[in-house]
Amino acid sequence: DTGVSQNPRHKITKRGQNVTFRCDPISEHNRLYWYRQTLGQGPEFLTYFQNEAQLEKSRLLSDRFSAERPKGSFSTLEIQRTEQGDSAMYLCASSGRVAGNTIYFGEGSWLTVV
C-alpha cells in the first residue's frame, strides 16, 4: 500500500491553457474522489467515481472541468481554458470496502494560473 499518488505536485500555467492532473488511488480502493481546496478553506467536493462510473458531480463544477477514470484504476482531472480563479490545490482521495466511509487523500496538486 503506497497511498494515493498525485502528479504533478505543482503546476504553473498561463490563463487559457489546459491542464491535466493524474491520481493513482490505493490499489484495492474502488471509490475515487476529487476535491478542490483554496487557502483558509476546507476541501470542496468536485466529483466521485465508483470503479469507472462517475456517479456524482458537484453542481458548482464548471463545464471546463472533466474527470475520467478509465478501467476503474487511475483518474485524470482536466481543466480547459484555465482562469485565475482555478488556482487551488486539487486533492484526490480514495476509499474501498475495508476502509468503509473513510477516505484517504493524496498530497494534492497545486495549480497556479498566471
Angle among Cα 58, 63, 65 to the nearest 5 degrees reads 75
Strand partners of residue 24: 5
For another protein, give the closer residue by CB, 82 or 94: 94
- The piece of 17-25, 38-46, 67-75, 78-86 that touches another protein (CB under 8 A) is 38-46
Name the residue with cell 456517479. Answer: 55
Does 48 engage in binding with another protein (CB under 8 A)? yes
108 near another protein (CB under 8 A):
yes
For residues 108 and 89, the answer to whether their CB atoms sit within 8 Å is yes
Taking the mean position of all CA atoms in its chain, how far away is CA 8? 12
In the complex, least distance from residue 81 CB atom to another protein, rounded to whole angstroms: 27
Summarize as ranges the residues that interact with another protein (CB under 8 A). Answer: 4, 31, 33, 35, 40-45, 48, 50, 56, 91, 93, 95, 100-108, 110
